Chains A and B, each alone.
Chain A
């Protein structure tokens, strides 16, 4: 059974640009959450989606947005990138009743 797939694995962007990250959940999983991981702030919650609806949003500026498609795949977008957005972005998926989330390997974003 394939795990949570995040693409791309690595990304280098320039300040001011925008970026889109993709997450394909485990087949059958309809819930997707996103987290930002940095050495200074640790793991911080970004969004949660279930059946194309955003169920929860973390304390991030409006430059961070996301969506989920009908096939449960999810994307997150960061506009007007800042140096502080450099981080590992993690996606996790689950299914009702599993009571636990499976994480992907993440997308390492570097903003220069």
Chain B
């Protein structure tokens, strides 16, 4: 079955450490890619999105993601995390042929940043 995979379910790191979260998808063709974040007690928020063009996408709060078509990957990065980055991160794919509002989400990665 076609899917979206996030490599890690839980990540614990210290402030100022670098963060990289993996996301792979199994759809062929052109996909639209997103990363969403859910801070504790808050709603899902869009971090960044990729539709076409430069495969290195910059988002809010210092996050960036790189689309590697040959690897079917869309990994999220942040060079130096803060305690406030503690949240759950979701990769989402708008698959070929699907309407704009239909996303396939990964299982999420819970990130805990310790002081």
- Cβ B43 vs Cβ A104 within 8 A: yes
Chain A residues with a Cβ closer than 8 Å to the other chain, count: 26
**Binary flags per residue of B65-106, CB closer than 8 Å to A gives 1, else 0:** 000000000000000000000000010100000111111111
- Cβ B101 vs Cβ A32 within 8 A: yes
Rounded to whole angstroms, the CA-CA distance of A82 and B36 in the bound complex is 29
* Residue of B with least CB distance to A42: B107
Report how many A-B pairs have Cβ atoms within 8 Å. Answer: 61
**A63, CB-defined interface residue at 8 Å:** no
Contacts of A56 in B (CB 8 A): 98-99, 101-102
- Cβ A101 vs Cβ B43 within 8 A: no
Contacts of B32 in A (CB 8 A): 99
- Cβ B42 vs Cβ A105 within 8 A: yes
In this complex, the interface size class of chain B, counting residues with CB under 8 Å from chain A, is 20 to 34
**A106, CB-defined interface residue at 8 Å:** yes
Least CB distance from B89 to A in Å reads 12
Rounded to whole angstroms, the CA-CA distance of A50 and B42 in the bound complex is 26
Rounded to whole angstroms, the CA-CA distance of A58 and B103 in the bound complex is 10
* Of B42, B45, B104, the contact of A45 (CB 8 Å cutoff): B104
Most buried by A among B34, B103, B108: B103
Rounded to whole angstroms, the CA-CA distance of A36 and B108 in the bound complex is 14
* Residue of A with least CB distance to B105: A43
Indicate whether A101 sits within 8 Å of B46 (C-beta atoms), given known contacts A42-B105, A45-B104. yes
Indicate whether A92 sits within 8 Å of B51 (C-beta atoms), given known contacts A42-B108, A100-B46, A104-B43. no
Indicate whether A103 sits within 8 Å of B43 (C-beta atoms), given known contacts A31-B100, A33-B102, A43-B90. yes
**B44, CB-defined interface residue at 8 Å:** yes
**Binary flags per residue of A78-105, CB closer than 8 Å to B gives 1, else 0:** 0000000000001010100001111111
Residues of B at under 8 Å CB distance from A? Answer: 32, 34, 36, 42-46, 49, 51, 90, 92, 98-108
Residues of A at under 8 Å CB distance from B? Answer: 3-4, 31-33, 35, 42-45, 48, 50, 55-56, 58, 90, 92, 94, 99-106
Further pairs besides A43-B103, A105-B42: 4, Cβ < 8 Å:
A33-B103, A42-B106, A43-B90, A92-B101
